[in-house]
Each structure stands twice: as structure tokens, then as C-alpha cells.
């Protein structure tokens, strides 16, 4: 469980200054038709990503997050110029009713709270999370409103396995050329427990190191800048040690590997965006 802080009024006004123009590349979310009088303002898409989606909130605003890997899509809608926004409750009911009619389950409905949960600080009013299936895919959907209905947003992840594109030989060449390699290793939230879906990545990394028998490496753990600096440092060390142990279990000599945590001290991207923070939460193999 993760305690989520209350959002200040300034946060609720996050979208207020934005112009009413959508990207030409953005389309409506494929799971729902748009609300009448709204147009697509912005969108994000990734063929494969991992997102922490809120699935439970209690009266103390303790939030339980579920990490889902797969195809990710976020669509933000904005009221048409001169239009009258629908109430956040009307937006919520329209989507949950439509989803239930298709067999969906509402797993979380936070009511008229305004707080930041998960990765979407802009979804703050009449928040809900749904499980639904469509077109042979299983989705976890998170949605809610902003600015009393001026905007609303739908984020979804459809579970699927990543298509492996990198071979061991390519990893050897990359590691030899750059001197480091970022591993796609995922952990339980705020823990050093490696998720089962990281097994293939660790298998390939171990095979690569066994092919490069003379190479010694550091397993470096890194976090974003959210939270306490000392806790981030400790967590990054624990995660580095977990990955080192997993590589040793796969046959890499323990004397060839050291583990070191860097906390948030070595970012590779801007921590002011979720995309940047996600890139900074990483584990690297570095030649030594």
C-alpha cells in the first residue's frame, strides 16, 4: 500500500491555461466514444510499457497500485470552445455504465476526492479504475476528470508480453561498444523484489556475461527523485543487490559482480515528467 498525498487547489487547475487545440496525430480512445461537446486534446501511446494503476483506495486515502505491462494509451479530452462542461459525475457514470454494459468490472471508484494517485496527477475528480475486455484484449483502465469537467482523461494498459527484439550477440556488441547496458528489470512498487516478467531479461544478461568471461561488471541501481533521498539510496542498493544475486543464480561468477546503489544521484532524464522519472528508475550493468 502507498499513501498518496492530497492535491492542492493549484494542482486541480493544472490544465486551465492550455489552448483548445488537439494534435493531428491523436485519435479518440478505442474503448469509448467521446462525450458530446468534447474533443481530443492530447494523447500518449507506447507499444509496450509498464504502468502503476490505482486499484483500491480507502477512507484514509491509502492507495493500492497494480503494475501492468503491455500496450499503453492515454487520451485527454477538452470541452469545445464555448461549450458547457459535463459534471465530473456525469462523465464518470457515462463511462462506467458503458463499460458495465460490455461486461466490465469497476474495481475502484474513489468518489468526489481530489488527490494524486498513480502516475496521472491530472486525473483528480470522480476517479475510477475498470477491468474490461474488448477485441480479444484484457484492459485495466483508469479515468477521471479535471477542472470540474473542463477536461477528462482515459488511461489504459492492455496486458501482453513484450516482443523480444534484442539477441545476446547484440547485447554483447552494445555492452562492449558502450561499456554499459540498461536492463529492463521491473520490481514490486517500493521494493527490491524482481517481478517474474523480468526473467527473460536476466537470462539474456547472464548469457551475455558468460560469453564475456573476462569482463567484470558493476550492477548499478538508480531511482527517480520522488520521496526521501536516504530511502531512495537504500532502495537502489537493495535492487542492485537483487539483480546481482539473480545473475549469480544464473551462473555468473559472484567475484565478477559488485552491486552499488546511486539513489537519484545519476539521472539520465528530466525528473519533472513521468516519462523522465520512468527512465531514471533503472538498473545498469557497467564495465569495471
Q: Are residues 94 and 30 in the same domain?
A: yes
Which segments within the chain are labelled E, that is strand?
A: 2-3, 38-57, 62-79, 105-111, 125-134, 137-146, 151-159, 180-183, 217-222, 257-261, 282-287
Same domain, 92 and 197: no
Can you give the pLDDT at residue 24? 64
Query: In total, how many domains does the chain have?
Result: 2
Q: Would you say 152 and 144 are in contact if contact means Cβ atoms under 8 Å apart? A: yes
Same domain for 7 and 79:
yes
Contacts of 209 (CB under 8 A, 6+ apart): 215, 217, 247, 252, 256, 285
Q: Which residues contact residue 28 at a Cβ distance below 8 angstroms, ignoring those fewer than 6 apart?
A: 34, 40, 75
> Do 176 and 274 belong together in one domain?
yes
* Cα 57 from Cα 271, distance rounded (Å): 26
**Residue 226: which CATH number?**
3.30.1330.60
Looking at the structure, tell me whether residues 129 and 40 fall in a common domain: yes
Average of per-residue pLDDT across 230-251: 96
241 and 103 in a common domain: no
6/33 Cα distance (integer angstroms): 31
* HSE-CB of 236 using CA atoms within 13 angstroms: 28
Q: Are residues 194 and 269 in the same domain?
A: yes
Q: What is the pLDDT of residues 133-143, one digit of tens each?
A: 999 999 999 99
* CA angle (199 as vertex; 228, 248 as ends), nearest 5: 80
Whole-structure pTM over 0.85, yes or no?
no
Domain that holds residue 222: 168-287
Residues 75 and 154 in one domain: yes
Q: How high does pLDDT run on average in the chain?
A: 86
Domain boundary among 126, 159, 192: 159
Write out pLDDT tens, residues 191-213. 999 998 899 899 999 999 998 98
What pLDDT does residue 116 have?
A: 53
Q: Once rounded to an integer, what is the mean pLDDT over residues 219-229?
A: 94
d(CA 47, CA 70): 7
173 with 222, same domain?
A: yes
Q: Which three cell numbers stand for residue 56?
A: 483500491
Give the residue with greater pLDDT, 165 vs 53.
Answer: 53
- Statement to judge: residues 36 and 133 lie in one domain: yes
Q: Using CA atoms, how far apart are residues 112 and 204, in angstroms rounded to an integer?
A: 47
Enumerate the H helices of the chain as residue ranges.
9-12, 88-101, 168-178, 199-211, 229-249, 274-280
Percent residues over pLDDT 90 in the chain: 61
Same domain, 148 and 22: yes
Q: Are 64 and 56 in contact (CB under 8 A)?
A: yes
Buried b (16+ CB within 10 A) or exposed e, 171-189: bbeebeeeeebebbbbbee
Residues 154 and 279 in one domain: no
CA 235 to chain centre: 18
Amino acid at each position: 500500500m502507498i499513501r498518496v498525498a492530497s492535491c492542492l487547489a493549484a494542482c486541480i487547475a493544472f490544465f486551465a491555461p492550455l489552448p483548445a487545440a488537439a494534435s493531428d496525430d491523436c485519435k479518440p480512445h478505442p474503448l469509448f466514444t467521446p462525450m458530446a461537446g468534447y474533443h481530443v486534446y492530447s494523447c500518449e501511446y507506447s507499444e509496450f510499457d509498464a504502468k502503476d494503476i490505482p486499484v483500491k483506495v480507502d477512507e484514509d486515502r491509502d492507495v493500492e497500485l497494480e503494475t501492468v505491462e503491455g500496450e499503453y494509451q492515454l487520451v485527454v479530452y477538452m470541452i469545445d470552445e464555448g461549450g458547457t462542461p459535463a459534471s465530473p459525475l456525469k462523465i464518470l457514470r457515462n463511462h462506467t455504465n458503458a463499460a458495465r454494459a460490455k461486461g466490465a468490472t469497476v474495481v475502484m471508484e474513489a468518489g468526489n476526492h481530489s488527490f494524486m494517485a498513480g502516475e496521472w496527477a491530472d486525473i483528480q475528480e470522480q476517479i475510477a479504475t475498470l477491468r474490461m475486455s474488448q477485441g480479444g484484449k484484457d484492459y485495466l483502465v483508469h479515468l477521471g476528470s479535471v477542472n470540474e469537467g473542463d477536461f477528462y482523461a482515459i488511461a489504459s494498459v492492455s496486458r501482453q508480453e513484450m516482443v523480444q527484439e534484442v539477441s545476446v550477440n547484440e547485447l554483447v556488441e552494445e555492452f562492449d561498444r558502450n561499456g554499459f547496458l540498461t536492463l529492463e528489470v521491473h520490481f514490486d512498487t517500493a521494493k527490491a523484489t524482481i517481478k517474474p516478467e523480468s526473467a527473460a531479461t536476466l537470462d539474456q544478461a547472464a548469457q551475455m556475461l558468460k560469453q564475456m568471461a573476462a569482463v567484470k561488471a558493476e550492477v548499478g541501481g538508480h531511482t527517480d527523485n520522488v520521496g526521501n533521498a536516504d530511502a531512495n539510496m537504500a532502495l537502489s542498493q537493495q535492487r542492485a543487490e537483487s539483480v546481482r544475486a539473480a545473475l549469480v543464480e544464473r551462473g555468473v561468477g559472484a567475484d565478477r559482480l559488485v552491486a552499488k546503489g546511486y539513489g537519484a544521484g545519476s539521472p539520465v532524464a528530466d525528473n519533472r515528467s513521468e516519462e523522465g522519472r520512468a527512465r531514471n528508475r533503472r538498473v545498469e550493468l557497467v564495465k569495471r
